[in-house]
Amino acid sequence: MADLPTARVAKERPFLNVGVDFGGPFLIKESSRRNARSQKAYLCLFICFTTKAIHLELVSDLSSAAFLAALDRFIGRRGLPRCIYSDNGTNFTASARELSEVYTLLQENCTEISDTLAQRQVKWIFNPPAASNFGGLWESGIKSAKHHLRRVIGAQLLTFEEFTTLLCKIEAILNSRPLIDLSPDPSDNVDYLSPGHFLIGTSLLHAPEEDISETPLNRLSRWRLLQRAAQCFWKLWSTSYLQSLTPRNKWFNNSSTLKVGDLVLLPQLHRLPLHRPIGKIESVHPGKDNVVRVVSVKTGNSLIARPINKVIPLLQ
């Protein structure tokens, strides 16, 4: 496997080199009235090459004006990028029918978008034609956002403002995922580095709120409906994220066991959005066969014992 591109490993500020992609369409309604008309909207994703931080924007259509407006909002909050990477349009032709409009946007408005970016000294780089192995970084970001977003919304029609609010909540959830342990010393405080640290300098935290993910929809106001959607997204995404961290392999060879200082997550305490019960292994307790099946985990000021099937190692 070749080395990563320079833009992926260079020490740069967040969102200096970004990938962009579209997802959708999603149906939204013009207003909160019961008989309001519905229309299409699209998800525009920007992902930082260096920190893997994600920025989500909602666009009302796939015109060049709508995309440039989303780009202006992105630049106003994240800074001017140096390079923008994207698919070149032909990669979308073999995709689902819903992405044909994205292909039209990139083909018909390529010159206008490129000229606008050139005036700002931003370089737009397209993937080669038929290069399906290119762009995995932003494709995975779109999958993470869109896959569960459709499931939590269901048949509900949100307004543009409500959908934008929900995207901000989802953006915070995706930017709270752990990247690396801040300290290898098991005696240090339990903490990890996430994309949110590069954006605000500390962990992304969520205001305390009641768990309403199981509350019937007909009992919720519009604002509580958004809270429920964000909580359901958190549960679906965090479950799939944990499954990706715990592959089930055949026991043909002895696998590496947990050791002192490993950062682990306690899934049974995994409840509200942005709440990750993280701990460090303080000690291990091997059996007579010298196989570790129980560990002592330090979480804040407490020390708890857990079997290894109840802890999930992070950042291996």
| Span 214-232, average pLDDT | 84
Number of domains present in the structure of the chain: 2
In angstroms, the CA 224 to CA 232 distance is 12
Does 87 share its domain with 186?
A: no
* Secondary structure (DSSP) of 56-98: EEEESSSSHHHHHHHHHHHHHHH---SEEEE--SGGGTTS-GG
Place of tokens 């066991």: 257
Q: Which positions ≥6 away from 255 have C-beta within 8 Å?
A: 249
Is pLDDT at 180 greater than 80 in this prediction? no
Confidence of residue 195 (pLDDT cuts 50, 70, 90): confident
Residues 75 and 131 in one domain: yes
Residue 298 inside a domain? The answer is: yes
Q: What is the pLDDT of residue 96?
A: 35
pLDDT in tens, 115-173: 676 676 778 777 776 666 676 776 777 777 877 888 888 888 899 999 999 999 889 88
pTM of the model: 0.75
The answer to whether position 172 is within a domain reads no
Which of 122, 140, 158 terminates a domain? The answer is 140
Q: Is the pLDDT of residue 100 over 60?
A: no
**Are 107 and 196 contained in the same domain?**
no
**What pLDDT was estimated at residue 184?**
58
pLDDT higher than 50, residue 97: no
Residue 92 has pLDDT above 50, yes or no: no
115 φ/ψ angles, rounded to the nearest 5 degrees: -65, -40
Domain of residue 119 covers: 6-140
Q: Are residues 113 and 12 in the same domain?
A: yes
Tell me the per-residue pLDDT of 227-268, one tens digit each, with 9 for 90 and over: 888 888 888 877 777 766 665 655 555 555 778 888 887 776
Q: How confident is the model at residue 90 (pLDDT cuts 50, 70, 90)?
A: very low
Q: CA quadruple 58, 64, 69, 70: dihedral positive or negative?
A: positive
Establish if 160 belongs to a structural domain. no
186 and 110 part of one domain: no
